[in-house]
Amino acid sequence: MEDRRDDRRTRYSKMVIRDALFELMQEKDMNKISVKELCERADVNRSTFYSYYADISDLHKKIIKEFFAIQRAFINRCMETLDGKPDLTNLTVDDFYEVTLLYLTYVKDNKEMFRFIFLTQTNSPIQVSFDKVFYSEITRRLPPNQKEIFRRSFTFTSGGTSALFVRWILEDFATPVESLAKSLAYYYNGVFNGHKFARK
């Protein structure tokens, strides 16, 4: 029973520390945030902070590491879904909806993490890195003559998707996951299948 209470206490402490960092990074650069200031904002002792993190930079690195773990879990799950499709060059709106709903659910289930990444990591290579991994996993499953077409479509949609995510986050996820997933599915379907009409 004591271990369970300790686990809850640990999760709570890490949560308030990370929330405090998120709040402070909206007010100033990370290199101007002190451990003392962060602990006061989080209402925890400095000893509690140092039991989990070496310094502010270590806290930031561990948040980013956790973000990548979440993204990798999504990519693996997404690839399992797409590997069940007979032809990745001919996906339907329902196919796009299935994958998009999966991703948006991941985002909302980890909303504080995504809020931190999308709202405090302006021009960061973090999301770019995720896009590259996701792009690589998809293109490995495509025939060679489809890779350039997919690259253009992916480049077009990834920027728009990030912009929509930022708006969704700023609006505190007010739009239901299912509704946003449906809209994105239609957008993706139009873009990724648009080349078929462009050749006519």
Q: What is the pTM of this model?
A: 0.75
Looking at residue 200, its pLDDT comes to 47
What number of CA atoms fall less than 13 Å from residue 140's CA on the CB side? 9
Q: What are the boundaries of each domain within the chain?
A: 1-53, 62-198
Q: Is the model's pLDDT at 199 over the cut of 60?
A: no
The class (CATH top level) of 1-53 is mainly alpha
> Which residues, at least 6 apart from 52, have a Cβ–Cβ distance to it below 8 Å?
10, 13, 14, 17, 59
pLDDT in tens, 53-112: 999 999 999 988 888 888 888 888 888 888 888 888 888 999 999 999 998 998 888 887
195 within 8 A of 149, measured Cβ to Cβ = yes
Q: 165-171 — which CB contacts under 8 Å span 24+ positions? A: 165/107, 165/114, 165/118, 166/118, 166/119, 169/111, 169/114, 169/115, 169/118, 169/119, 170/119
Is residue 175 left, alpha or beta, with left meaning phi > 0 and alpha meaning psi from -120 to 50? beta
